[in-house]
Amino acid sequence: MMDDVLLKLGQNVSHLMEVNRAIDEAIILAITNQQGMITFANKKFCDISQYSQQELIGQNHRIVNSGFHPPEFFKDLWRTIGQGRIWKGEIRNRAKNGDLYWVDTTIVPCLDEKGKPYQYIAFRVDITARKHVEEQMRRLDQLQIAGQISASIAHEIRNPLAAIQWTLLSLSNDAADREHQLSLVQAELTRIDAILTEFLTLSKKRESVFFEIDLPDLVCCKTVDIVAAQARQQGITLDVEVHSVSGKVWGDEHQLRQVFLNLMKNALESMEVGGRLTVRAEQTHDSSNRPCISIAIADSGCGMTAWQLSNLERAFFTTKPDGTGLGLTVCHQILHSHQGALNFRSQVGEGTTATVTLPLYESSEGTGGNV
C-alpha cells in the first residue's frame, strides 16, 4: 500500500518535472514578490535580457524597462494584478546591451487564503520578430497614405496656381488694374504658403515630447492670452473659467497648444464683430470610465449645418475663402495620439461648442516598472 503511494508520488513528481522542463524551454518565466522584486528568473529570461540570474534576483523589473510605455500603462498593470486579476499585454523591454525586445506577457497573481496576492508569476513569449513585421506593414500603410495626401495636396495647390497663371496672362497695361491683379496673385501665393505650412505640421516627423501638463494653465496662459488681442479687435467678449478644475494630462505641450489655438481661431472666425467666446473646464469620464478633463470652447458665431458637421473630419474641408481646411485635421491627429477626443455641437445662427476631452494623468508612486 505504502509502496503504491510512493510510486504514484514519484510518478507525479517526475511528470511535474517534465512539464516544468517543457515550460522552461518554451517560455520566459519570472516570479516577483508583492513589492515588485524578482525572486526567480529562468534561463530564457536571462538569455533574452542578457542579465545573469544573480543580476536579476532581488532587482525590480525596471532593470529591463525601455521607457517606451507611459507610466499609466504600468499603473494599469499593477492595479489589475494588485486586485488579484490576470493581466495580459505586449511590453517592449531593453536588454543589458541596449537591444530592445518585445514580449507577449501574461501575469498571474498567486493568492493567499484571503484572496490577496503574495506573488506574481509572469509568462512571456518573445514576439520581437512579429513586431518588426508589423512595423514594416505600418510603414507601407503610411507610404500609401502619404501618396494619397500628396495627391490631394497637388490637387489643392493646382487651383491657386491656375488662378495665378490666368491673372499673369491677362496682366493689364493699366497701372491701377495691374496693382489689383498683382494683389490677387499675392493672395493666392499666401494661400499656397498656408496650405504648405499646415501640411508640414501634419507630415513632419517631429518627435512628440510627452510631459505632465497642467491643462487649465496651458489653456489659460498659453492660448487664451494669444487670441485675446484678436478678440478685442473684433469686439468679442472673452469669458474664461478653467481653473475650477485641476487637470493634469500626459501630453506634448506644443501640440496641445496647437489644438486649442486652432479651435479658438475657428471660434473667432465664426463671429464677425461682437459676440462671446466662452472657455470652460469640467471633470468627466470617457466611455471606458477613465477620469478625464473636458475643455469646452463655445462661440456665439454663425454655427454649422448638419452637412458641415458631417464633413468636419475630412482633410481640406473648408467653407472659408482663405481657409486650408487642415486646422481640424491637425487637431484630430494630435488628440488621437493623446488618447483624447474632439466633439462638436452646433446650431446655425446660434453658435458652436467644440469639446476636447483628455484622460487625466495620475503620477505613479513606485509602480513605474513592469512585473
Binding site residues, ligand ATP, CB under 6 A: 198, 262, 266-267, 270, 299, 301-302, 304, 308, 312, 317-320, 323-328, 352
Q: How far is residue 268's CA from residue 274's CA, in Å, rounded to a whole number?
A: 10
Residue 89, binding choice from ligand ATP, Mg ion, none, Cβ under 5 to 8 Å by partner class: none
What residue 270 binds from Mg ion, ligand ATP, none (CB within 5 to 8 A, per partner kind)?
Answer: ligand ATP
Q: In what order do the strands lie in the sheet with 351-359?
A: 237-241, 276-285, 291-299, 351-359, 341-347
- Which residue matches cell numbers 508589423? 134
Based on CB atoms, which residue is closest to ligand ATP, 278 or 308?
308
Write phi, then psi, for 290 (nearest 5 degrees): -75, 140
Closest contact distance (angstroms) between CB of 262 and ligand ATP is: 6
Cβ atoms of 241 and 203 closer than 8 Å: no
Query: Is residue 270 involved in binding Mg ion (CB under 5 A)?
Result: no
- Which cell is 325 given? 481646411
Consecutive H or E run containing 40: strand 38-41
Instruction: Determine, following the binding rule CB under 5 A, whether residue 266 of this chain makes contact with Mg ion.
Output: yes
Among ligand ATP, Mg ion, none, partner that 255 touches (CB below 5 to 8 angstroms by kind): none
40 touches, from ligand ATP, Mg ion, none (C-beta below 5 to 8 Å by class)? none
Question: Which entry of ligand ATP, Mg ion, none binds 359, CB below 5 to 8 A by partner kind?
Answer: none
Residue length of the chain: 371
Cα atoms found within 13 Å of the Cα of residue 253, Cβ hemisphere only: 11
Of 103 and 277, which has the nearer Cβ to ligand ATP?
277
- 327 is an interface residue for Mg ion by CB under 5 A: yes
Any bridge partners for residue 105, and if so which? Answer: 89, 124
Choose between 32 and 266: whose C-beta lies nearer to Mg ion: 266
Size of the site for Mg ion (CB under 5 A): 2
